Chain A
Amino acid sequence: MDTPVTPHSNYLTDGYTLKSWLLTRDHKRIGLLYLFSVTSFFVLGAFFAAVIRAELLTPAGDLVASDTYNRLFTMHGVVMVFFFLIPAIPSVLGNFLVPIMIGAKDLAFPRLNLLSWYLYTFGGLFTLWALVNGGVDTGWTFYTPYSSSFSNSNVALVIVGIFINGFSSILTGLNFIVTIHKMRAPGMTWFRMPLFVWAHYATGLIMVLGTPVIAITLVMVAAERLLHLGIFDPKLGGDPVLFQHLFWFYSHPAVYIMILPAMGVMSELVAAFSRKAIFGYQFVAFSSLAIAALGFLVWGHHMFVSSESVYSAMAFSLLSFLVAIPSAVKVFNWSATMYKGSISFEAPMLYVFGFIGLFMIGGMTGLFLAAIAVDVHVTDTYFVVAHFHYIMVGASIMMFMGGVHFWWPKIFGKLYHEFWAKVAAVTIFLGFNLTFFPQFIVGYLGMPRRYHAYPPEFQLWNILSTAGATVLAVGYAMPAFYLLHSLLKGKPAPSNPWGAKGLEWETASPPPTHNFETPPVVTEPPYNYAK
């Protein structure tokens, strides 16, 4: 392993003024701006969740009023989905790593990249402003005609916030696609790209193709609300179910915006800590594209009880079962990658184990929901809440945390305290399961979601869930301390602390402003660990 080298100058030493950050066009600095922003929104969203869990400790709705509770779960969903989960991995790790991994100096459109951060931040602040001004109580799904004709909350303002934010997603996706097509280093063929890059390519496609649909849909809700154009409200001649079709046409693929980059991180981590090539590289690469494509064809499974016709429900059910296959293939491939590897157990690898656990349970319970007969019973109950938290939160957070820990030495050139990082990883995993596993049970017993008060027979499971949330909160808080400590007092990191393969480990930690001292030329396949 290399000896620690702190390069004479790097992207962090390139300017210390606020202006040097706020007007930067360096993808690495923009990645860090995003890291700051998405973490702030995460803390905010987690706060809402904490109040929700405290309220649900007892069956009676006694901690906050119903209207407040409805605003809390709505804002929790809006903030976590649109301002944390969707941008988290692509905008932070993707922004930082995609250009370095393919040997480029930057993304194809650095100014658009900076613009995307400003759009994200303005969209977010706008949404916060709406929150201070009375909040929104429609649920993050904005179902009509409640959202368009009935809700007395700040629906239109929040929609504007999400609308603005959507452009940041489109610009990020566009940047990835163009960069991956046009800026690969000499010798970096498509099948030499790290799987992280493949995953971000697939994610970019969904961002560019899907986001405009949600933007238009939300504009239509605002138009009906403000101008009384009859689109969704039957009293004005509209169709409320039309909204659900449009909404889920984006929002189901949006789940893949959250999970595909996590799968990308997973592939990097499992290869690095097994010191072994990914088992079935091409299968894993193509399964990302298969998921991106099939993901656009399954939206109707959110609507099995919304008066969908019997045959269209069956078609969506079948397609939903099919989209499970590429995900299953990936899990088997990652597990097989460990076979005859050389496995070590640093903190990021613990997140790999956590990811496999949560992703298996989240993915398998997806089969329950694709099976219409079972879905009819469990949809809109806590079973669904548990399922989507496992898959899009659990799996994404595991890999967001795993990725941040894995690349932390590269990003900041500092090492963190390994012991505490491991403790945090285990705490988060245990806390997560204790929070959400009881929700599967209480959901099958029939507890509907979005209930401020609930019948007393469901209390036991809610107490367990709230206890888990407390453990989870402790787990989430720990990195704030040891990572901050690492920034201030951490030991300098060598350029390749894990002995991992990939162009990002061949350049200095932190990387120089233009990523490489000399432009790299790629001569070997990815994950070329065995000599």
Chain B
Amino acid sequence: MAPRVDALYYFLIAVTAFFTLLVAGLVIYFAFKYRRKLKDDAGAPIHGSMWLEAAWTIIPLIIVLVIFGWSSSIFFSMARPPAHTLDVYVVGKQWMWKFQHPDGRMEVNELHVPVGVDVKLTMTSQDVIHDVYVPNFRLKADVLPGKYTHMWFKATKPGKYHLFCAEYCGTNHSGMVGWIIVQERAEYEQWLAGSLGQGTTMAQAGEKLFKDLACSSCHQTDTIGRGPTLVGLYSNKVNLDSGSTVVADDAYLRESITNPRAKVVAGFQPVMPSFQGLVSEEALLQLLEYIKSLKATPSNATGVVSPPAPASPAKK
């Protein structure tokens, strides 16, 4: 992404330099050429020119429309992650970054990713607004409490890149910094093998929570319980009792856990209690990862680092 942003940036600098020098040049030229020679001199009786006015309205208009189109096309690529990504979950809090990999690894203020792989961050905050900013990637996205935001990138060169919090978040805002560590595949595999936290994947942790919080007593995996089954739910359409439909994405699942009565599935009673405040942001993300893993057909993950297949209760 960075080269595309920089290309537009340099174009903008060229446009700026051109117009600034043009205006400055004209002003200096006029100031010199038409300097007052006699004390009582007055200027010429010129009041305007429709042609000139129209020209310097329309030419800048065309230029800004070009910039708009160019910028928007880059923005579209930024805003839309590819279909298959290596997912990492991010929780910001005053004043640190916590990263969870689907295979259960946790990192603080450091994120290891392999080079040349599409990485998607799903981010939330447990207190105030933060912002993940990686200047080298030319990317930035707010991290909001009560909501998931996303960012994706594909690092093209191994290295250590600054990660800054770019939304003012209180006392130690300028200390809420970290590193994105981009590694070659082999090096990354080595890091994967050597780091702590292996054993329990996020989905497995989510499954445990699912039982501990007694979600499983209503949301059963083989039959219809008091709540709808969650197997094969993720990213599919859900019919609501209001008659509308909604796609079961991260935002919908999060809302259904923290505020279940907001969107009730058609055919079910609004009996689920809210889990707002009962599950941490990390735990919510684990539940999410568990629900994602409940695929109707046997999973065939395509990610570069496919997490160990979770013990899927969906299988009979």
Residues of A within 8 A of B (CB): 61, 66-67, 70, 137-139, 143, 145-146, 149-151, 233-235, 239-241, 274-277, 279-283, 305-307, 310, 313-314, 317-318, 321-322, 324-325, 328-329, 331-333, 335-336, 338-345, 353, 356-357, 360-361, 364-365, 367-368, 370-374, 376-377, 379-381, 444-446, 448-455, 499, 529-531
Contact = CB atoms under 8 A, between A and B. Distances in A.
B135 A377 contact: yes
Contacts of B128: 143, 145-146, 149-150
Chain B: interface size category: 35 or more
A4 B22 CA distance: 41
Contacts of B170: 70, 137, 146, 150-151
Given A281-B48, A373-B74, A448-B166, A380 B140 contact: yes
21 contacts: A235-B146, A306-B144, A310-B76, A331-B23, A332-B56, A335-B30, A342-B34, A342-B37, A343-B30, A343-B34, A343-B35, A343-B36, A356-B24, A357-B20, A365-B16, A373-B4, A374-B12, A377-B138, A381-B166, A444-B9, A446-B135
A327 B73 CA distance: 26
Contact of B19 (A276, A342, A364): A364
A254 B70 CA distance: 29
Contacts of A306: 129, 142, 144
Contact of A455 (B20, B23, B42, B162): B162
Contact of B42 (A149, A310, A357, A530): A530
Contacts of A137: 170-171
Contacts of A356: 23-24, 27
A367 B172 contact: no
A449 B168 CA distance: 8
B171 A240 contact: no
A341 B41 CA distance: 9
A361 to B, nearest CB: 6
A529 to B, nearest CB: 4
A154 B162 CA distance: 33
Given A66-B174, A335-B27, A357-B24, 15 more contacts: A143-B168, A282-B48, A306-B129, A306-B142, A318-B68, A324-B60, A325-B57, A338-B34, A343-B30, A344-B36, A371-B70, A372-B74, A381-B166, A448-B133, A530-B45
B37 to A, nearest CB: 8
B30 A338 contact: yes
B15 A146 contact: no
A364 B16 contact: yes
Contacts of B53: 280, 283, 329, 333
Contacts of B172: 66
Contacts of A499: 40
The listed residue with most B CB atoms (<10 A of its CB), out of A276, A305, A529, is A305
Contact of B56 (A328, A370, A444): A328
A380 B36 contact: no
Given A340-B34, A356-B24, A373-B5, A317 B72 contact: yes
A448 B166 CA distance: 6
Contacts of A377: 5, 135, 138-140
Nearest to B161: A446
B270 interface: no
Given A305-B140, A343-B31, A452 B173 contact: yes
Contacts of A365: 16
Given A281-B48, A371-B71, A146 B129 contact: yes
Nearest to A274: B43
Contacts of A235: 145-146, 277
Contacts of B40: 499
B131 A376 contact: no
A364 B71 contact: no
A336 B170 CA distance: 48
Interface string B61-101: 10011011011101110110000000000000010000000
A314 B75 contact: yes
B175 interface: yes
Interface string B28-59: 00110011110011111111110011001100
B127 interface: yes
Contacts of A67: 171
Given A339-B30, A372-B75, A530-B43, A143 B171 contact: no
B247 interface: no
Nearest to A287: B57
Given A339-B46, A360-B23, A371-B71, A240 B145 contact: yes
Nearest to B136: A446
B301 to A, nearest CB: 28
B119 interface: no
- Kindly list the 3 A-B residue pairs having the minimum CB-CB distance in the complex, ordered from nearest: A446-B135, A234-B146, A276-B43
A306 B36 CA distance: 53
Given A143-B168, A146-B128, A275 B42 contact: yes
B27 A353 contact: yes
Contacts of B61: 322, 325
A340 B46 contact: yes
A357 B24 CA distance: 7
Contacts of A281: 47-48
A398 to B, nearest CB: 14
A6 to B, nearest CB: 23
B165 interface: yes
B315 interface: no
B92 to A, nearest CB: 12
A282 B45 CA distance: 16
B167 interface: yes
Contact of B68 (A240, A325, A371): A371
B213 interface: no
Nearest to A234: B146
A154 B12 CA distance: 42
B162 A335 contact: no
B157 interface: no
A282 B57 CA distance: 14
B20 A361 contact: yes
Contact of B65 (A146, A240, A321, A453): A321
B149 interface: yes
Contacts of B171: 66-67, 70, 137
B226 interface: no
B147 to A, nearest CB: 6
Contacts of A335: 23, 26-27, 30
